[in-house]
């Protein structure tokens, strides 16, 4: 029913981002990475999903339409509720998830925090046709992971690495990518 909320970012509290619209501040449950770079007062656009049950009304929200659609697919899987779906999306990227499901890779899927073997098998059985293999730049992933291990947030790391690849598309050596990305990150 509520597809998007556009308002003013008011901070984060207990897994929720606070978004103010016309005097009402909504608490929207999101994954660890969405909006992690936002500062109080920023304008924010959230792709939302309202979930109504007998005992509660909760809004989940994400920083991209594709992440929201991934969330909507995950919660269709039997015995996989919104909380687990948020945990999964907080621990991996949509691309990684899509490829693991599309290729039916139980090992890869159950390597993600929040996904045991049984859940992985159910996800593959019930969602296989809803995901496609996405071309993933392994070097990019490796560079991002390296930067994260140096303490940068995943969004910072990904933005920096994307910028490097944009400016020099032919660069394919992981350590070179990391070096260039660190220069960018130093300027933030």
Interacting residue ranges for a second copy, rule: CB under 8 A = 1-7, 10, 13, 16, 18, 20-27, 50, 52-59
CB within 8 Å of 180: residues ≥ 6 apart: 164, 167, 168, 171
Cβ 28 to a second copy shortest distance, Å? 8
Instruction: Give the separation between CA 111 and CA 120, rounded to whole angstroms.
Output: 9
Cβ 122 to a second copy shortest distance, Å? 20
Cβ 173 to a second copy shortest distance, Å? 41
Instruction: Give the separation between CA 93 and CA 99, rounded to whole angstroms.
Output: 10
Instruction: Give the separation between CA 28 and CA 15, rounded to whole angstroms.
Output: 8
Residue in 50, 74, 53 with CA at minimum distance from that of residue 61? 50
The residue among 54 and 78 lying less far from a second copy, judged by its C-beta, is 54
The residue among 11 and 113 lying less far from a second copy, judged by its C-beta, is 11
The residue among 3 and 37 lying less far from a second copy, judged by its C-beta, is 3
- 100 CA to centre of own chain: 15
Cβ 121 to a second copy shortest distance, Å? 26
The residue among 39 and 53 lying less far from a second copy, judged by its C-beta, is 53
* Sign (positive or negative) of CA dihedral 169, 173, 63, 116: positive
Cβ 41 to a second copy shortest distance, Å? 15
Report CA-CA distances (Å) from 37 to 18, 41, 144.
14, 12, 16
The residue among 50 and 133 lying less far from a second copy, judged by its C-beta, is 50
């Amino acid at each position: 029913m509520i597809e998007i909320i556009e308002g003013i970012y008011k901070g984060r509290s207990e897994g929720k981002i606070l978004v103010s619209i016309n005097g009402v501040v909504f608490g929207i449950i999101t994954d660890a990475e969405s909006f992690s770079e936002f500062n109080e007062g920023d304008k924010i656009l959230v792709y939302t999903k309202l979930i109504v049950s007998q005992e509660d009304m909760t809004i989940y929200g994400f920083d991209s339409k594709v992440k929201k659609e991934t969330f909507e697919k995950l919660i269709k899987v039997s015995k996989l509720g919104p909380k687990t779906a948020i945990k999964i999306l907080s621990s991996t990227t949509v691309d990684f998830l899509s490829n693991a499901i599309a290729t039916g890779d139980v090992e890869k899927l159950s390597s993600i925090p929040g996904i045991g073997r049984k859940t992985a098998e159910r996800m593959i059985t019930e969602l296989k046709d809803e995901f496609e293999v996405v071309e993933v730049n392994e070097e990019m992933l490796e560079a991002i992971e390296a930067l994260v291990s140096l303490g940068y947030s995943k969004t910072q790391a990904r933005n920096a690495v994307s910028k490097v690849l944009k400016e020099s598309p032919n660069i394919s050596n992981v350590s070179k990518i990391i070096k260039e990305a660190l220069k960018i990150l130093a300027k933030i």
